[in-house]
Amino acid sequence: MFKYSVFSVMTPEWTPEELLEKLYEYGYSAVEWRYKRMEPELGVEEPSFWGNNLCTITPEMSDQYLADLHEKATKLEVSTLSINAYLTCGDLQETEKVLKVAKKLGAQMIRLGVPAYDGSQHYSDLCREARNYILQVERLCEQYEIKGLIETHHGTIAPSASMALRLVDGCNPDYIGILYDPGNLIHEGYENYRMALQLLGPYLAHVHVKNAKWQREDESMKWNVEWERVDHGVVCWEQVLLDLDEVGYRGYVGIEDFSRAFSAEKSLAFHEAFLKEVVQKRC
């Protein structure tokens, strides 16, 4: 029913080659590569999700390395689903560089940049900036035959499905789509899952699987959000998967676990079993 991928950000201690071997071992059919420039000083740190992440594709990697990685993935029958970059909204030059890397790796999609929102700039100005960027990127995506994704993400002007849709409405869904991430919606942007999925319609291009919870800080008693096990957090994944099935979604659901509840290898095994069990029971 659904296909399963893994975002390499969650396996920072493995190299890309090691991740591909593990994906083949556990039966995952696609990978999403973290793409980011790695500053030299990070190399002395312990591997981490957003720091010294060894499972990252960097701009400095040679064409030969990318070709070899693509060949290895093909042999292991693991397709490259997406290049998940950390692009700045409006940076068309860097966006095209990512599209070129995606093409070399045989990726279907890349993640685009949208403005952050901290209240210092008016939403309307940021929305106008993002729309202009996305409309220009749409032409690039058509040229490279790769879809550009806007992720529902807290701290940006696209924290919910409806806000993300405002940015892509009117674009060709063959080239511009939305990455729906219910785990991010725990921070901000929650809407009824089925309603949100119905709203997205043809723009629903991919789904990320992770979870989070609200808790109070000890001293201030203020609420904050922390990542949690997929089966222990606020997101009811049984309901999300049921709603995805109801709207006819047949694409990938991508694991992006930040809970630190498991080692990387145990996380692959756990999430595969969890998702298949839920799908068998509910969908």
pLDDT for 220-263, tens place per residue? 788 999 999 999 999 999 999 999 999 999 999 999 999 999 99
Task: Report residue 283's pLDDT band, with 50, 70 and 90 as the boundaries.
Answer: low
pLDDT at 78: 98
CA end-to-end span of the chain: 9
Angstrom distance (rounded) from CA 91 to CA 77: 33
pTM: 0.96
Tell me whether strands 223-228 and 211-216 are parallel, antiparallel or unpaired.
antiparallel
* Percent of the chain residues topping a pLDDT of 70: 100
**How many CB atoms neighbour CB 37 within 10 A?**
10
Angstrom distance (rounded) from CA 203 to CA 197: 9
Contact 83, 111 (CB under 8 A): yes
Length of the chain counted residue by residue: 283
pLDDT at 39: 87
Compute the average pLDDT of residues 79-85.
98
Span 3-282: which CATH code?
3.20.20.150
As to burial, measured by CB atoms within 10 angstroms (0-12 exposed, 13-18 middle, 19+ buried), residue 13 is: middle
Q: Which one is predicted more confidently, 125 or 222?
A: 125
Q: How high does pLDDT run on average in the chain?
A: 96
Question: Which distant-in-sequence residues (6+ apart) come within 8 Å of 225 by Cβ?
Answer: 186, 187, 212, 213, 214
Of 142, 80, 89, the C-alpha closest to 108 is 80
